[in-house]
Homo-oligomer: A and B are copies of this chain.
Amino acid sequence: MKINLKQELTKQWFKNLQEIICKNIEEIENNKVLFKSKKWIRNKKKNEGGGESKLLENGKVFDKVGVNYSEVYGKLPNEFKGKIPGISRNTNFWASGISIVMHMRNPHVPAMHFNTRYINTSQNWFGGGMDVTPCFKDYKLKKWLHKKLKKMCDRHNKYYYKKYSKWCDKYFYLPHRAETRGIGGIFFDYKKNNWEKDFNFVKDVGLEFIKIFNEIIIKKNKIRWTKSDKEIQYLKRGRYVEFNLLYDRGTKFGLQTNGNIDAILMSLPPLAKWK
């Protein structure tokens, strides 16, 4: 398949997924709180792509949820040489993806994150994953989540779950606190075995995320919460901010490639506290 067609198919998938997930979230909010959409372009002078970031705030279920789609291209800054595959000689790149972070009103509903992307340099690969961050220890939820993810992964390759769930724990780790961000999930990058199979996996990760966040909300949103639960959530969100600003590669990539600030930092919680 031609590279342009692959780009076309992946970006359409990401775009459609954005639409589906936003509708789903608005339904959870009984269509009383809606997304606000912002389209942005990377460079006003040159055509270097852009995106659409959608934000819903102050819902009954969601405190803040951002659903970002982007398609960006052009040249990467030189500092990426040696850090990203396939840009040793020329620094041309093309990237499209969808990323979502959900910060929930009820502290018993975990924060949830999902992202999938397709990146082209002189090499082409998929990346992505999802992870779940409860405010309270929740071994049962962890077991349930990983069972779901294993089942989904197993449909594609029996080695995926082990590899990608380990990668997730390693990636979403706060070394200065010696703790993982949450209860894990899956994370993968530089995925370039077989384009069709990889793309099928990427699509399945997106669909599985929809099932997972809906089920988690149904399970957890009915639990009553107190003001002191909310305070614990604010502190946990402080850790979320620390991870995203100190370590997250996606955040760094966005900032260094002149991405849209509001879209990049949409992952930050609406309100965070530090003791």
* A interface with B by C-beta (< 8 Å): 57, 175-177, 234, 238, 241-242, 245-246, 255, 261-262, 264-265, 268-275
Contact = CB atoms under 8 A, between A and B. Distances in A.
Given A177-B261, A246-B255, 5 more contacts: A57-B275, A241-B245, A242-B265, A265-B274, A271-B271
Contacts of A177: 261
23 contacts: A57-B275, A176-B255, A177-B261, A234-B271, A238-B268, A241-B241, A241-B245, A241-B272, A242-B245, A245-B245, A245-B246, A246-B246, A246-B255, A262-B275, A265-B274, A268-B274, A269-B274, A270-B275, A271-B271, A271-B272, A271-B273, A272-B272, A272-B273
Q: How many copies are assembled?
A: 2
Contacts of A245: 241-242, 245-246
A10 B43 CA distance: 50
A274 B251 CA distance: 15
A255 B245 CA distance: 14
A237 to B, nearest CB: 10
A57 B274 CA distance: 11
Contacts of A261: 176-177
Nearest to A264: B176
Contacts of A241: 241, 245, 272
Nearest to A238: B268
A54 to B, nearest CB: 14
Which 4 pairs between the two chains have the least Cβ-Cβ distance?
A245-B245, A268-B274, A176-B255, A245-B246
A177 B271 CA distance: 20
Contacts of A242: 245, 265
A232 B262 CA distance: 17
A271 B272 CA distance: 6
A265 B246 CA distance: 12
A272 B240 CA distance: 13
**Of A176, A246, A265, most B-chain CB atoms within 10 Å:** A176
A246 B241 CA distance: 10
A234 B274 CA distance: 13
